[in-house]
Amino acid sequence: MKCWTRRQFGCLAGATCTGALLARTARSQVRARVVVIGGGVGGATAAKYLALSSKTLDVTLVEPKGRYTTCFFSNLYLAGLRSFESLTHGYETLAQRYGVNIVHDTVTAIDPVAKNVSLESGARLSYDRIVLAPGIAFKAGAIDGYDDAAMQIMPHAWTAGPQTRLLRQQLETMADGGVFVLVAPPDPFRCPPGPYERAALIAYYFKQYKPRSKILIVDAKDSFFAQDVFEDGWNRHYPGMIEWLPAQFTGGVKAVDVKGRLVKTAGDTFKADVANVIPAQEAGRLAHEAHLVDQSGWCPIDPLTFESKLQPGIHVIGDAAKAGNMAKSAFASNSQAKVCAFAILAALTGSDRFAPHLFNTCYTLLASDDAVTSAISYSADAETIKVNDFFLSKVGDNAETRREAVREADGWYAAFTHDIFG
Amino acid sequence: MPGQSTSIVPAASEHRQSAFSMHKIVALVTAMSLAICVAERSFAADNDQGAQLAATCAACHRLDGHDRGIPSIIGLSEEQFVVVMRAFKSGERSGPIMRTVVRSLSDEEIAILARYFASRGKEGERR
C-alpha cells in the first residue's frame, strides 16, 4: 500500500501502535457534532455520507421544507414527460436508515465564536463543524421591476417547487400561437445547459399541443454551453420555433413590466404571453449573512475540504461554493458533498484521507427520444479545481446513441436520487 | 472498525508474563503491534478507501442490485471488474461517461474498488 498516513508511518517508525489505537478510541467517545444546513442535493448527500461513514458523529440536517423537489429533470415535467411527484423526495430514509437528525426549521444566525446555530423556533444547535449548502439567490435589482411579486407573474422556476408548477400552468393556459419569452442569465449560474434544455422541452410540448407558438430566448450572454449541439437539436426537432437573441444584439434584459408582460432590453421591448425570467445569481442568503461570500458573490473554499476560506469550521458546498472550474450542478454538488464529508470525517474522527475525486455528468434532453450527455473529471489542489478530462455529445451522433441516452438518463435519475435521499 | 483490536496486545502479554523476561515481552508487544498495524491498514483503510471511491460510483449506479437504465456493478468478480474498467479506459469498450471516470482513476484505485465490490457481493446496502 503506498498511501500511508502519518499516524501509521509513526507506528512503523517505532511509536507504540497500541497508543495510537487508544488515542483514536478515546477521541471517538466524544460524539462530534456536525450541523448540515440546507436539504438540497449537496446538504442531503453530505448528511447521509457523514452519518453512514461514522457511528461516532452526531449529524443534524436543518431544512425548512418537508420535501425537496429536484430542479434537475424539472424541464421534463414542463414538457409533460414526468409527473411533479416523481421529482419530489422526502428525508425519512436519511433519518431512519442512517440516523441523521432531521430538523425542519430555518437557520436565523450562525455564531462562529460560540460555535452554535440559532433557529427560527428559538432552539440552538452547537456544532464542531458546519456544512452549509444554501444554494442560489437571485441578485437584487439585476432586472428592474423583477421582485418577489413579479416572480408570481413571470416565474423563474429556477428553484424547483411551486415556481415550476406555476410555469407549467401558464404554458397550459397559453393559447396556440402565443409567444414564450425565456430570459437567460449571465454566467455563472446554476445548471449551464438548463435554460436551453428548457427551450427545447417547452418546444416539445408546443409542437404537440400549440404548434403555432414561438419561443424567444433573450440571453445575457453571447454564447452558451454546448451551443452547437442545442442549435442542431432545436433545428431538427422544432424548425423555426426557437429564436435565440445574444446580448450583443439586444444589449441584454434591463427591465420587466409585469402588468403588460413585457421584457425590455436596451433597444427593444418584447411582449410575452408567458415569460420565464431567470435572473443573475449569487450564493444563497445565509452565506451572505454568515460572511462567507467574497466580492464575486460566491463562497471561496479550500478545494480539498470545501472549508470556507473566510470562516474556519464552516464548509460550503454546492452552487454557493466558488469551486474553480466546476459547473454549478446537482451532480457537482453531490460530488463535492462526498469530498467534504470525508474531509470532515478525517478531521473529527482521525479516519484516513485519500485523494479526492470530483466529477460532473449531465443528461440533457432535446426531445423525448434525443438526449445528449456530458462528463467532466476535475483535479483539485490547494489552490483551485481544474478540468482534467471532458466529454460532450456531438452534432451528428447517431440517433440510437441519443435514444439510448434517454433510457440511461431515466436510470440515472433513479440512482442519483437514491444516492442522495435513499 | 478502526481500534477494535486495542485490547488484544496487553491481555495476551499479561498471561505470559511469568514465562518471559521483560525485554522479550517488550519485543513481543512491539512485533504484535506492528503486525496489527499492517493488518489494520490492509483491511480497514483499504475498505475505507474502497467505500469512498465507491461513493463516486453511487452517483450513477445503484449499489443495491437495481439496474434499470444504468448497469449494476454489484456482483462482478475482482477480475471481471478490472477487465471492464481497463476496457473503458482504453476505449475498447464504448461509453464516454465511464471512459471519463475511469481515466481519472489510478490502477491501484481500480484494484481497491474491485476488491471492495467483490467483497460486498449482492449483500444489498451495507455501506
Q: Does the pLDDT at position B116 exceed 50?
A: yes
Contact across the interface for A338 and B52, Cβ inside 8 Å: yes
pLDDT at residue A4 in the model: 34
Query: Tens digits of per-residue pLDDT, A352-406?
Result: 999 999 999 999 999 999 999 999 999 999 999 999 999 999 999 999 999 999 9
Residue A389 touches partner B, C-beta closer than 8 Å: yes
Q: What confidence tier does B26 reach under pLDDT thresholds 50, 70, 90? A: low
Which residues of chain B lie closer than 8 angstroms to A386, CB-CB? none
Pick the CATH number of A148-279 from 3.40.640.10, 3.40.50.2000, 3.40.50.150, 3.50.50.60: 3.50.50.60
Q: Which comes out higher in pLDDT, residue A168 or B36? A: A168
pLDDT at residue B21 in the model: 55
Q: Which three cell numbers stand for residue A290?
A: 454568515
Pick the CATH number of A30-138+282-352 from 3.40.50.970, 3.90.960.10, 3.50.50.60, 3.40.50.10210: 3.50.50.60
Could you tell me which residues come within 8 angstroms of residue A346 by beta carbon, excluding any fewer than 6 positions away? A352, A353
Alpha-carbon dihedral sign for residues A44, A45, A48, A50: negative
Q: Is B9 exposed, middle or buried (0-12, 13-18, 19+ CB in 10 A)?
A: buried
Which residues of chain A lie closer than 8 angstroms to B99, CB-CB? 375, 391
Contact across the interface for A415 and B46, Cβ inside 8 Å: no
Find where cell 455501506 sits.
B127
Chain A 192-251, CB below 8 Å of chain B: which residues?
A: none
Closest to A329 in 3D by CA, of A388, A374, A277? A374
Q: Does the pLDDT at position A319 exceed 70?
A: yes
pLDDT at residue B89 in the model: 95
- Whether the CB-CB separation of A269 and A287 falls below 8 Å is answered with no
Distance, CA of B12 to CA of A308 (rounded, Å): 47
Chain A 297-356, CB below 8 Å of chain B: which residues?
A: 331, 334-335, 338, 342, 350-352, 354
Residue A417 touches partner B, C-beta closer than 8 Å: no
Residue A410 CA, distance from chain mean position: 19
- Give me the mean pLDDT over the B85-112 stretch: 95
Closest in A11, A18, A361 to B6, CB measured: A18
Q: Does the pLDDT at position B2 exceed 80?
A: no
Which residues of chain B lie closer than 8 angstroms to A28, CB-CB? 3
Q: Which comes out higher in pLDDT, residue B67 or A385? A: A385
- Parallel, antiparallel, or unpaired: how do β-strands A179-184 and A214-219 relate? parallel
pLDDT at residue A55 in the model: 87
**DSSP symbol at B83:** H
pLDDT at residue B122 in the model: 52
Closest to A233 in 3D by CA, of A363, A367, A368? A367
Phi then psi dihedrals of residue A272, to 5 deg = -105, 150
Query: Tens digits of per-residue pLDDT, A29-53?
Result: 579 999 999 999 999 999 999 999 9
Distance, CA of A66 to CA of A62 (rounded, Å): 11
**DSSP symbol at B42:** I
What is residue A115's three-state secondary structure? Answer: coil
Q: What confidence tier does B33 reach under pLDDT thresholds 50, 70, 90? A: low
- Give me the mean pLDDT over the B28-38 stretch: 50
Q: What confidence tier does B127 reach under pLDDT thresholds 50, 70, 90? A: very low
CA distances from A138 to A105, A157, A191, B116 (A): 22, 12, 14, 43
Q: What confidence tier does B67 reach under pLDDT thresholds 50, 70, 90? A: confident
pLDDT at residue B121 in the model: 61
- The string of DSSP codes covering A229-294 is HHHHHHHHHSTTTEEEE-HHHH--EEEEETTTTEEEESS-EEE-SEEEE---EEE-HHHHHTT---
- Give me the mean pLDDT over the B19-33 stretch: 53
Alpha-carbon dihedral sign for residues B75, B78, B80, B81: positive
Distance, CA of A358 to CA of A368 (rounded, Å): 30
- The full set of domain ranges for chain A reads 30-138+282-352, 148-279
Q: What confidence tier does B29 reach under pLDDT thresholds 50, 70, 90? A: low
Residue A23 touches partner B, C-beta closer than 8 Å: no
- Give me the mean pLDDT over the B42-60 stretch: 88
Which residues of chain A lie closer than 8 angstroms to B55, CB-CB? 49, 338, 342
- Give me the mean pLDDT over the B3-26 stretch: 43
Q: Does the pLDDT at position B3 exceed 70?
A: no
Residue A397 touches partner B, C-beta closer than 8 Å: no
- Give me the mean pLDDT over the B11-30 stretch: 48
Chain B 50-89, CB below 8 Å of chain A: which residues?
A: 51-53, 55-56, 58-62, 64, 66-70
Contact across the interface for A411 and B69, Cβ inside 8 Å: yes
Question: What percent of chain A shows pLDDT beyond 70?
Answer: 93
Q: Looking at the DSSP assignment, which residues form a beta bridge with residue A360?
A: A376
Q: What confidence tier does B13 reach under pLDDT thresholds 50, 70, 90? A: very low
- Give me the mean pLDDT over the B60-73 stretch: 87
Q: What confidence tier does A261 reach under pLDDT thresholds 50, 70, 90? A: very high
Could you tell me which residues come within 8 angstroms of residue A105 by beta carbon, excluding any fewer than 6 positions away? A62, A64, A119, A120, A121, A123
Q: Does the pLDDT at position A332 exceed 80?
A: yes
Query: Tens digits of per-residue pLDDT, A91-127?
Result: 999 999 999 999 999 999 999 999 999 999 999 999 9
Which residues of chain B lie closer than 8 angstroms to A24, CB-CB? 2-3
Q: Which three cell numbers stand for residue A54?
A: 461514522
CA distances from A60 to A39, A233, A276 (A): 11, 44, 36
Nearest chain B residue to A346 by CA: give it: B48
Query: Tens digits of per-residue pLDDT, A265-290?
Result: 999 999 999 999 999 999 999 999 99
Chosen for mutation from B52, B62, B73 (greatest number of chain A CBs closer than 10 Å) is B52
**Identical topology for domains A30-138+282-352 and A148-279:** yes
The mean of the pLDDT values for chain A is 93
Distance, CA of A143 to CA of A258 (rounded, Å): 12
Distance, CA of B46 to CA of B42 (rounded, Å): 5
Closest to A359 in 3D by CA, of B74, B2, B103, B20? B103
Nearest chain A residue to B72 by CA: give it: A415
H-only helix segments in A176-226: 194-209
Contact across the interface for B105 and A357, Cβ inside 8 Å: yes
Domain architecture of chain B: domains with CATH: 8-120 (1.10.760.10)
- Give me the mean pLDDT over the B72-90 stretch: 93
Chosen for mutation from B4, B29, B33 (greatest number of chain A CBs closer than 10 Å) is B33
pLDDT at residue B7 in the model: 35
Q: What confidence tier does A9 reach under pLDDT thresholds 50, 70, 90? A: very low
pLDDT at residue B46 in the model: 77
CA of B116 vs chain A CAs: smallest distance (Å): 15
Contact across the interface for B6 and A22, Cβ inside 8 Å: yes
Residue B6 touches partner A, C-beta closer than 8 Å: yes
- Give me the mean pLDDT over the B86-99 stretch: 94
pLDDT at residue B65 in the model: 79
Q: What confidence tier does A28 reach under pLDDT thresholds 50, 70, 90? A: very low
Chosen for mutation from B7, B28, B66, B70 (greatest number of chain A CBs closer than 10 Å) is B70
Closest to A374 in 3D by CA, of A358, A391, A388? A391
- Give me the mean pLDDT over the A138-144 stretch: 94
Q: Which three cell numbers stand for residue A9?
A: 508511518
